Structure 1
Amino acid sequence: MNVDTKSWMEQVKRQDEVDRYLINGEDFIHESEIRYQLDKNKSCSKDEIEQILEKSLAIERLSLDETAKLLNVKDENLWEEMYEVAAEVKKRVYDNRLVFFAPLYCGNLCINSCKYCGFRKENKLEERKVLTKEEIKKEVEYILSQGHKRIIVVFGEHPQTDAEYIANSMKTIYGVNKRTRSGSTSRIRRINVNAAPMNVEDLKLLKEVGIGTYQVFQETYHKATYKEVHPSGLKADYRWRLYALHRAMDAGIDDVAIGALFGLYDWRFEVMGLMCHTEDLEKRFGIGPHTISFPRLTPASGSELSTSSKYLVNDADFKKIVTVLRLSVPYTGLIITAREKPEIRDDVINVGCTQLDASTKIGIGAYDKAANSEKEDKQQFAIGDLRTLDEVVKYLADNEKITSFCTAGYRCGRTGEKIMKLLESCTEGRFCKLNAILTYREYLDDYASEETKELGEKLIQKEIDEVNKEEFYQKHNLLVMFHEYYERIAKGERDLFI
């Protein structure tokens, strides 16, 4: 790499791509307004809360005022009602399916000094590495061997993992094919990207090579805390990060994802920050975030803050976070990651999560090492759920939840504003149900253990019976195509979608 770090940082950041969004020099996070909303809504009647829940059930986004009311509920019996309503909202929009993905960490070189992260440049305990093309292929082959069809690639912020490296990594991933147990060919059908904020020019490069969703977490929306935990590097610029997804929209990437790292500051404030972010994206582009993530701070290599923060979120409050997000943005996907322990994931799935990972390895080159039974390197943070994909699929089947590996909507053009309207009208979930069944058939034949397949066969028949009775599918003449595709997949064809 001939470009030194300082020069590279200057090339990446374009101040005009931030300033164009400011209003009178101010960004959209108004801390005084957030505090005002949280303070003024500390005492709400049960009737007020139930009116808000009715709005959520109508699949309408809540206002900041309404979200603040939910965040201030103290009555645990009322929380139980909120959990039930959140589950019903999820069912109306997404049915009983859960979409799976695998994270792939391609490099841990980083120019930043984030106090909570094992990748930060001062951490001498971290073994630094950037994967080569051949190493990426080996990682993807292992991920495919587990049954995954969707990947999120993750990179540290560094000249060696710049936009060009990311684009080349994506090309490599899309080019990997692997034979399955049934003799069919498997490949990654969608690549989402979790990477540092980029300028519009670099984002257009990722758009050209087939980026799915572009994911950037603000980490914390509280500006003083943000400054404290990001003392140096490009990530120290709060607004450069805050408007990363606005720039993605400008670059033509209409599927974006937001998130906060819960445990850095007060969780109620962070939920309000996520809502402000959602509102601003919808106001400017007519499209909110495709997904929202809510990882909790977990122990990280060489990070004292990761275990000592006074804002660490307990399990009960974590469930409340997920519930309020599902109620506040009822049509947006919610991602629960393997940071969490199995019992936590299994619980909060029931209040509205739509996506999760499994068979997760987050060390650099860790999938290939797992395949060769070698010891993993130190990781960016601690993994809580070590279950394999098959184990989680089996658990879900036993609880009548179908695993989906569908990526159809993206390839059929149901992205951005189009998919948001379909989600708001509870229409997209019906297409997703069909595609979930088709990809589930693939998984059962290509990867499932005998125990999982036995449970899966019962579940898939139940799902087919439901589809056959659903008026929507009859009205739109979808049943003939669905059954034709199902039979073709059962005979060995792959990647048929509606």
Structure 2
Amino acid sequence: MFYIKDSKTKTFIDDEKISTLLQENINPDPKRVEDIIQKSLDKNRLNLEEMSYLLNCEDERLENMIFDGAKKLKEKVYGNRIVLFAPMYIGNECINDCEYCGFRVSNKEIFRNSLSIDEVKQETKALIDRGHKRLILVYGEHPMYDAKFIAKTVEAVYSVKSGHGNIRRVNINAAPQTIEGFKIIHDAGIGTFQVFQETYHEKTFKKIHPRGPKSSYRWRLYSLDRAFGAGIDDVGIGALFGMYDWKYEMMGLLSHAIHFEERFNVGPHTISFPRIEPALNTPVSERPPYIVDDKKFKKLVAILRLAVPYTGLILTAREPISIRNDLMEFGVSQIDAGSNIGVGAYSTQDKESYKKSQFVLGDQRSLDEVIKQLTDNNFLPSFCTGCYRLGRTGEHFMEFAIPGFVKRFCTPNAISTLMEYVVDYASDETKNSCLKVINNELKGIKDINMKEKLLSNLEKIKSTDQRDLYF
């Protein structure tokens, strides 16, 4: 069984344990905090008790230790790389009535729209022509967006070629599926399947999801267990911060990661932690019941980085530029760029796309502008998809990641994909900034054979039509 039918059966979210740990570990001992951070720096996942200590650190010195530890850990595991992707909203029809969401069925002011397969291809071409290689497809929850339709849209995205470009990895954010539904989607060649619990606090979950399939807490909570059962071994989880106490949600996310490790021997591939943002005609989004201010938000990202060293942390363009810049220093490893969350907005450049959107974006810069700022700040933008296509996913990814092999492979792959962007898409200013970073990163590669092969690949990218060269 991959989910629990009996609503009285205890789930892996232990409400009593979470509440007790958060209450008992107030004002933690500084030495204990130091030891916990060191455990993380040794690349070990934290447990719930250890996270509760970090969550309860209010002393400025201890908080600075958390930030410093997260920054060191990010450098150890991920180096300077920041993986880039773009969201593509396929449709905003929905039969749920989530109080915080602009797509909810009772919202009569939003313009409903769903892309045809031809329109999916048009959107894909528009994104490829900007330089994108990785997408996440997003769907409302509606019978028309069933597993077969999702699979067709994935296949449509992969079919599009434009110039030297194509989409190499398609991730999915869609409604929970049955095992058979997940199998259909898996066979289309997806990367990661995301399902966000929104809130791990069951009473709050039931309150803010009054109607529709999403009102079932357990069906959603165990959805990615079914994904594993269907052969999808890269899964992404998330919580929507602002619906309940942020410390509880953090403990819920870690509980979910531990559940996967205990049951499937692999943690989540990614964790997302969006804050509620304003949405058209959605009062709850304007006045979230548990506001998470910027200080708390930065702290929770740093603690997540320490808690799950080998899980990618995704920060979306919901957040303003200043927050995005800060969080990349000590936790975030993936961001979207050049994003538009209106249905069909990339190819049409629809100026009223907000009327079709789930929420309002805080960072509306182009992909080129984001890449230039990243490289100006010595980050290494990456469109790498090598691990996915070489089978380094799920449990195999953990085998490579824990000893640090991923950093060894991913930095050269990131350099290659950035050189593709330089040659095929970059503005002159961005090109110069990227080349400086590429040259700096090349100096840091100690493996002579790897470096020689990489230099050969870079020359092929610059002087021939060859692309997609990876380790």
Q: 2:388 aligns with which of 410, 413, 418?
A: 410
Q: 2:366 aligns with which of 388, 399, 416?
A: 388
Q: If the length of structure 1 is used for normalisation, what is the TM-score?
A: 0.92
1:195 equivalent in structure 2: 174
1:452 equivalent in structure 2: 430
Does the residue aligned with 2:353 lie in a helix, a strand or coil?
coil
Counterpart Cα distance in 1 of 2:319 and 2:181: 33
- Once the two structures are TM-superposed, the CA of residue 481 in structure 1 deviates from its matched residue by 2.3
- Once the two structures are TM-superposed, the CA of residue 291 in structure 1 deviates from its matched residue by 0.5
Q: 1:360-371 maps to which residues of 2 (within 5 A)?
A: 360-370=339-349
Matched, 1:173 2:157: yes
CA contact (8 A) 1:130 1:161 kept: no
1:12 equivalent in structure 2: none
- Once the two structures are TM-superposed, the CA of residue 92 in structure 1 deviates from its matched residue by 0.7
Matched, 1:490 2:462: yes
- Once the two structures are TM-superposed, the CA of residue 484 in structure 1 deviates from its matched residue by 2.0
Does the residue aligned with 1:48 lie in a helix, a strand or coil?
helix
Does the residue aligned with 2:267 lie in a helix, a strand or coil?
coil
* Identity fraction in percent: 47
1:332 equivalent in structure 2: 311
Q: Unaligned stretches of 5+ in structure 1?
A: 1-15, 180-184
Q: 1:299-314 maps to which residues of 2 (within 5 A)?
A: 299-314=278-293
CA contact (8 A) 1:366 1:377 kept: no
Residue deviations 1:422-441 (CA, integer Å, cap 9, x gap) = 22222111100000000010
CA contact (8 A) 1:369 1:376 kept: no
Counterpart Cα distance in 2 of 1:262 and 1:23: 25
Counterpart Cα distance in 2 of 1:60 and 1:374: 47
Q: Which moved more, 1:285-294 or 1:73-82?
A: 73-82
- Once the two structures are TM-superposed, the CA of residue 146 in structure 1 deviates from its matched residue by 1.4
Q: 1:8-157 maps to which residues of 2 (within 5 A)?
A: 17-19=2-4, 25-157=9-141
Does the residue aligned with 1:151 lie in a helix, a strand or coil?
strand
Matched, 1:213 2:198: no
Residues 23 and 160 (structure 1 numbering): CA distance in 2 closer, same or farther, change over 3 Å?
Answer: closer
- Once the two structures are TM-superposed, the CA of residue 45 in structure 1 deviates from its matched residue by 1.5
CA contact (8 A) 1:319 1:348 kept: yes
CA contact (8 A) 2:172 2:191 kept: yes
Counterpart Cα distance in 2 of 1:461 and 1:490: 14
1:8 equivalent in structure 2: none
Residue deviations 1:200-255 (CA, integer Å, cap 9, x gap) = 00000011110100000000000110000000100000000001111100000000
Counterpart Cα distance in 1 of 2:8 and 2:16: 17
Residue deviations 1:236-290 (CA, integer Å, cap 9, x gap) = 0000000111110000000000000000000000000001000001000001100
Matched, 1:229 2:202: no
Counterpart Cα distance in 2 of 1:64 and 1:461: 42
Matched, 1:375 2:352: yes
2:421 equivalent in structure 1: 443
Counterpart Cα distance in 1 of 2:4 and 2:111: 38
CA contact (8 A) 2:103 2:140 kept: yes
Counterpart Cα distance in 2 of 1:420 and 1:230: 35
CA contact (8 A) 1:364 1:377 kept: no
Counterpart Cα distance in 1 of 2:456 and 2:435: 18
Aligned letter for 1:127?
A: F
Counterpart Cα distance in 1 of 2:327 and 2:122: 33
- Once the two structures are TM-superposed, the CA of residue 459 in structure 1 deviates from its matched residue by 1.1
Counterpart Cα distance in 2 of 1:171 and 1:496: 22
Does the residue aligned with 1:120 lie in a helix, a strand or coil?
coil
Aligned letter for 1:381?
A: F
Aligned letter for 2:334?
A: Q
- Once the two structures are TM-superposed, the CA of residue 340 in structure 1 deviates from its matched residue by 0.1
Residues 24 and 113 (structure 1 numbering): CA distance in 2 closer, same or farther, change over 3 Å?
Answer: closer
Residue deviations 1:360-385 (CA, integer Å, cap 9, x gap) = 10011111221xx6432411101000
CA contact (8 A) 2:102 2:358 kept: yes
CA contact (8 A) 2:84 2:336 kept: yes
Residue deviations 1:128-173 (CA, integer Å, cap 9, x gap) = 1110011111111111111110000000011111111100000100
- Once the two structures are TM-superposed, the CA of residue 23 in structure 1 deviates from its matched residue by 11
Tell me the number of residue pairs that the alignment of Structure 1 and Structure 2 aligns.
469
Counterpart Cα distance in 1 of 2:93 and 2:267: 31
Counterpart Cα distance in 2 of 1:221 and 1:23: 15
Does the residue aligned with 1:312 lie in a helix, a strand or coil?
coil
Q: Which moved more, 1:387-396 or 1:335-344?
A: 387-396
Residue deviations 1:159-204 (CA, integer Å, cap 9, x gap) = 111111100000100001111xxxxx20000000000100000000
- Once the two structures are TM-superposed, the CA of residue 17 in structure 1 deviates from its matched residue by 4.1
CA contact (8 A) 2:7 2:218 kept: no
Aligned letter for 1:328?
A: A
Counterpart Cα distance in 2 of 1:225 and 1:423: 36
